[in-house]
Amino acid sequence: MPLSPDEFYDHAMAAADDEQRLPLSRMTGWDISPFETDSLVVSRLLPPVVPEPPRHGEDPADCESCRRSDEGIWLDDRWRLTAIPQVGVPLALMLHPRDHYDLADLTDDLAAEMGVISTHVVRHVQALAHISRCHIYRIGDGGAHLHVWFFARPEGQAQLFGSWLVVWDDLLPEYPAAIAEDDAAVVANALVESYGGRRGPRGTAQ
């Protein structure tokens, strides 16, 4: 039987030191880590909170994403793509269903559409000059309305490989906004050509 929240916490604390701190993760020793291990301290693991606090937009009537369903750099009848402002990587985009769904709630048809659209977005982001990869993330702990992230990894920056990219994005200075806006428009236009839909007013992810 899976561990209960309290059992999970007790299991984790068995590996902690006298200050209730867990050891550094293996990831902190990777070449791509943005931190030096000698200066890192692990935060104390706090006891579980059950029930968990609600996410933003659990009630569709209070969902900001639903209120912005007509905004985006690209839209079709069921999906919209927005550009995330003030990021450190060259480009960050977000795909949302226009109606209120979480990932587990999608119909098979919508799930298939999400996969196809995501593949097209990745192709177009990776076709931009000096972009090597497009990372995709779906987390879902902050907002109940499904949102899928796309991060453009800049060419040649080997420390930005892999799972630390989103941390580096937060550490890097803001990428020039005008360049990011132009690249977002290129992706949106290419998506219209390759998949369909239409260009929308420039929209952010808020």
Residue 131 lies in a domain: yes
- Containing domain of residue 186, as a range? 60-199
* pLDDT tops 60 at residue 203: no
pLDDT on residue 39: 87
Chain Cα centroid distance, residue 47:
26
pLDDT on residue 206: 37
pLDDT on residue 96: 98
Cα–Cα nearest to 117, from 141, 81, 165, 151 = 81
Residues 44 and 76 reside in one and the same domain = no
Residues 27 and 124 reside in one and the same domain = no
Residues 33 and 69 reside in one and the same domain = no
* pLDDT tops 70 at residue 202: no
Number of domains in the chain: 2
Residues 37 and 77 reside in one and the same domain = no
Dump pLDDT digits (tens) for 183-199.
999 999 999 999 999 99
Q: How buried is residue 110: exposed, middle or buried, by Cβ count under 10 Å (0-12/13-18/19+)? A: middle
Question: Are 106 and 114 contacting, i.e. CB atoms less than 8 angstroms apart?
Answer: yes
Question: Lowest-confidence range among 20-34, 47-61, 124-138, 161-175?
Answer: 20-34
pLDDT on residue 49: 95
* pLDDT tops 90 at residue 3: no
* pLDDT tops 70 at residue 205: no
Residue 26 confidence class, pLDDT cut points 50, 70, 90? confident
Question: Lowest-confidence range among 18-22, 45-49, 131-135, 177-181?
Answer: 18-22
Residue 205 lies in a domain: no
Domain boundary among 53, 74, 92: 53
Residue 120 confidence class, pLDDT cut points 50, 70, 90? very high
Chain-wide mean pLDDT for the chain?
A: 93
Domain boundary among 35, 53, 71: 53
Q: What token pair was written down for 69? A: 């369903």
Residue 135 lies in a domain: yes
Three-state secondary structure string covering 91-126: CEEEEEECCCCCHHHCCHHHHHHHHHHHHHHHHHHH
* Helices and strands of the chain, counted as H and E runs: 5, 6
Residue 82 lies in a domain: yes
Residue 204 confidence class, pLDDT cut points 50, 70, 90? very low
Question: Are 176 and 182 contacting, i.e. CB atoms less than 8 angstroms apart?
Answer: no
Residues 32 and 72 reside in one and the same domain = no
Residue 191 lies in a domain: yes
Residues 48 and 65 reside in one and the same domain = no
Residues 67 and 162 reside in one and the same domain = yes
Compare 203 and 154 and report the one with higher pLDDT: 154
* pLDDT tops 60 at residue 12: yes
Residues 35 and 120 reside in one and the same domain = no
Residue 206 lies in a domain: no
Residues 49 and 67 reside in one and the same domain = no
Percent pLDDT > 90 in the chain is 85
* Cα(164)–Cα(200) distance, integer angstroms: 32
